[in-house]
Amino acid sequence: MATEVISSKPVFSHPALALYGGTPIRTRFLPYGHQSIDESAIQAVVQVLRSDWITTGPKIAEFEEAIAAVVGARQAVVFSSGTAALHAAAFAADLEPGQEAITTPLTFCATANCMLYQGARPIFADVCPDTLLIDPCEVAQRITPRTKAILPVDYAGHPAALGEFMELANRHGLVIIEDATHALGATHKGRRVGSIAHMTVFSFHPVKHITTGEGGAVTTDNVQLAHRLRKFRNHGIDYDPQLRQHHGTWYYEMVELGYNYRLTDIGCALGLSQLRSLEANLARRRALADRYTAALADLPGLTPPVVHTDVEPAWHLYPVRLELAKLRVGREEIFRALRAENIGVNVHYIPVHLHPYYRARFGYRGGEYPVAEMAYEQLISLPMFPGMSDSDIEDVIEALRKVMSYYAR
């Protein structure tokens, strides 16, 4: 296969892309994300399965205390999913019909949906052109007497402008619910994400930094908020099942309308085991990000993520942007070509307001948030998970060179 040399590295000039019948870079598909489960995690789950409590038991508090300690918060409350945790945070913030909360359109739909669950309306604010994080200036322009909360998203694991949002909150009497589902272990000005906002939401989905299968958590320094969160996940009941058994009583009272959003002891045992590997997980993700960034420096047509100097990202994702003016095709063709090479790229995200439900309900037509919408047309997420080997990342880089060279203008 012919190659040409650019910056002393081989770049494919006219390869036979796998998309057109050529030999793929990899024989086995490399996903964009994947859980890492070792034998100690399996044994931790087995021990719980053999215990008296497989749900509503002692592992819940143990896991919550461990999460709070990791992020430096006074309280952590765990849930059955990150979406459930977002819903609970919206409830604890007293979001209700007639009120609004502001968030980014460049996020998974659950960030905005949690407001709808409470009858409130999501208001979107465009993102910054460099980081693709929600723009504090855009948010400030959308605050009205109906605004109750701001939900900044730590996109790809890069913390949002938390200091500016906390200042806005103090000035206007708002609640900051940080969607840090990408950002467990990230730091903002030397502080761990999870210890800054009024409430911070994490996800423990298998592609995240730790997993409980499905699961999530809210961290906070506010004891009253933590109490409301715990009631909400347990049908609005203000009495712990373990306490009922300990005191030998059947009596309980439902004091608010809640949901069954409980995380099991099985999941918490898995999460506790996973937490022991968090620092190694973060270190590997950062090493992978550094390798990608170095490789993209001499690869025309791709823009790497921007990182501010006062943060340390957690690198849940590594989203690159295509410089479409330098390519003969659009994002769809690049995506399909990389997938054909067995590189499991993905796209994060379709802007929330462009989903059919939001278009139909709120009348969005496209064009309302031009920075987020333009970024969406350019974005591709490269594989990023700690179980990736050095060979895996070199395969991704080789596939990028092969595909980008083929489609370059």
Q: Which residues contact 237 (CB under 8 A, 6 or more apart)?
A: 231, 252, 253, 254, 255, 258
| Residue carrying structure tokens 């006219």 | 14
59, 148, 208, 231: the catalytic one is 208
- ∠ CA 126-129-130 to the nearest 5 degrees? 135
Helix (H/G/I), strand (E/B), else coil: 101? strand
> Cα–Cα distance between 350 and 375 in angstroms, integer?
10
Q: Are strands 3-6 and 9-12 parallel, antiparallel or unpaired?
A: antiparallel
Does residue 59 have an active-site annotation? Answer: no
Reference 115, options 162, 138, 149; nearest CA is: 149
Cβ atoms 129, 81 nearer than 8 A: no
Q: What is the rounded (10 degree) CA torsion for 16, 18, 21, 23?
A: 80
Q: Which residues contact 138 (CB under 8 A, 6 or more apart)?
A: 125, 126, 127
> Cα–Cα distance between 388 and 173 in angstroms, integer?
44
Could you tell me the two tokens for 346?
Answer: 């993905």
- The residues carrying an active-site annotation are 208
